[in-house]
Structure 1
């Protein structure tokens, strides 16, 4: 009899725990929309190759509050679920379970701040005055710093958003570019699932942005293999892509500045980096090519970046 009570207790406890987390139904043929109370920052997705995020192709401020979820339509699964946590730019975290269904009953979720897992821990005040981004106001019991710890290439680094001024750009352009990259290296990006791979090594293009006279390309190099990836070189080219032509060529196109470009990515880790170019556009028969060559190895990757992405960059924030 005691065993029966124990089993019932465990089942009831599990039901209680899962009741605290909303289950969001996702399908292959529909987009499930999350409308967040604050701009999206990044997410943790237990199965990001199955449950796919995308974002509106709009420059509206409201678009920064929206995440669209769908299931990979080429996956053979009929049943699947995973954990999913969304962080907004004010530091709040929202925990969900994603569940694969044929047709979701609720196709739009209006997320409210009181649904945040850490809502009781943090109070935030957004300062909209010129030259500032967001000021974090801490409760007495909260030890949340203004600096944010991020994981880069398997190691923690201290990350602090620093407001930038026109005077810094005019006085020391490279210092401005470096700080701009540091401010945004952990951004989720504005491009969904644009990558090239060899085996289990991926180069992801996360975002294309513009600011002043420069274009910023945000990349993540992900090594899902156990063997470290040592990089011989990482080069960029402008290539032609005329259909059915044997005369396609490419010429090296050097970035103005490189930020965080790794020389080694350890096994089962990733590294984000930014390449900055003088502002440019491409016609429909040209593209930007990123080539990675492995040192003492053959895991070489080439990523073609289409002209549409380059000609329609997103404006960088502060």
Structure 2
């Protein structure tokens, strides 16, 4: 029954595909030791694999933007995902013991077609677009802040306060900064601001620094106070940018009514080569 359903869905894909030509499918690797996360531009309405040795899980009660893929050793298969708006995404899935990629941010352009033929494109207001994007950011941030991934180990400490950037994750148009603040002191820490800026070193006899503030598109879980012996993790979503060799990013943490201020310098190589 499962194979018949999958065959029927695939038939619909070819009927309603936007491109009337053969499509080369991307390959996603998974195993039974780790979860591989797929983030989609719209909430997932349906996801199905063609073989029992692959499992794709997603929230069936409340539509969300991401699903998790796991695999057991066996022959390759395929994964078909349909978003809430009818967009169809199809992939070849294979088992691999060692995985080099655990997160896939799927752009709308990678859809192979739509399950419905659309003759009229509805007008969407800027407010509605912004709301939809915020939902996508929220789902991605919740996933990243609750996952333990290999840290890039960027940190700065001062008087019992430890500021660190654990991950910088790249999406099609954004960079996700996973930030951690740890208070190992005996005093609560009241946050005044936590800002990210880009500094450019000016050459010449009179060396100086020019700084430009990078405004986040979305901020998740930023606290106003960090109690003693408390650790807080948050995510800043910023528009994608790159840095030349003479520029660097600086994450600045400032204490309200206090002097425990920290500046964490981030080399251009971390910004230009995110995970």
Give the TM-score band, short-chain normalised. 0.5 to 0.7
Provide the rounded CA distance (Å) in 2 between the counterparts of 1:295 and 1:304: 21
In structure 2, the partner of 1:275 is 236
Gaps of at least 5 residues in structure 1 are: 1-59, 66-87, 91-124, 136-162
In structure 2, the partner of 1:47 is none
Out of 170, 180, 190, the residue aligned to residue 230 of structure 1 is: 190
In structure 2, the partner of 1:79 is none
User: Tell me, what secondary structure is at the counterpart of 1:191?
Assistant: coil
In structure 2, the partner of 1:291 is 252
Question: What number of residue pairs does the alignment pair up?
Answer: 171
Query: How far did 1:248 drift?
Result: 1.6
Q: Residues 137-176 of structure 1, C-alpha deviation per residue, up to 9 Å, x if partnerless?
A: xxxxxxxxxxxxxxxxxxxxxxxxxx99867989711111
TM-score by length of 2: 0.54
- Indicate if the aligned counterparts of 1:164 and 1:176 stay in contact, CA closer than 8 A: no
Structure 1 residue 132 and structure 2 residue 67: aligned? yes
Aligned runs of 1:197-276 on 2, under 5 Å? 197-241=157-201, 246-276=207-237
- Bigger mean CA offset, 182-191 vs 222-231: 182-191
Aligned runs of 1:85-96 on 2, under 5 Å? 89=34
Query: How far did 1:203 drift?
Result: 0.7
Provide the rounded CA distance (Å) in 1 between the counterparts of 2:229 and 2:182: 8
User: Tell me, what secondary structure is at the counterpart of 2:269?
Assistant: helix
Provide the rounded CA distance (Å) in 2 between the counterparts of 1:171 and 1:299: 36
Over aligned residue pairs, what C-alpha RMSD do you find? 3.4
> Structure 1 residues 268, 240: closer, same or farther in 2, change over 3 A?
same
- Indicate if the aligned counterparts of 1:202 and 1:223 stay in contact, CA closer than 8 A: yes
Provide the rounded CA distance (Å) in 2 between the counterparts of 1:210 and 1:171: 21
Provide the rounded CA distance (Å) in 2 between the counterparts of 1:164 and 1:306: 24
> Structure 1 residues 132, 126: closer, same or farther in 2, change over 3 A?
farther
TM-score by length of 1: 0.47
Gaps of at least 5 residues in structure 2 are: 1-27, 36-52, 59-65, 71-103, 109-127
Provide the rounded CA distance (Å) in 2 between the counterparts of 1:234 and 1:201: 13
In structure 1, the partner of 2:95 is none
Provide the rounded CA distance (Å) in 1 between the counterparts of 2:207 and 2:219: 32
- Indicate if the aligned counterparts of 1:188 and 1:206 stay in contact, CA closer than 8 A: no
Provide the rounded CA distance (Å) in 1 between the counterparts of 2:265 and 2:29: 29
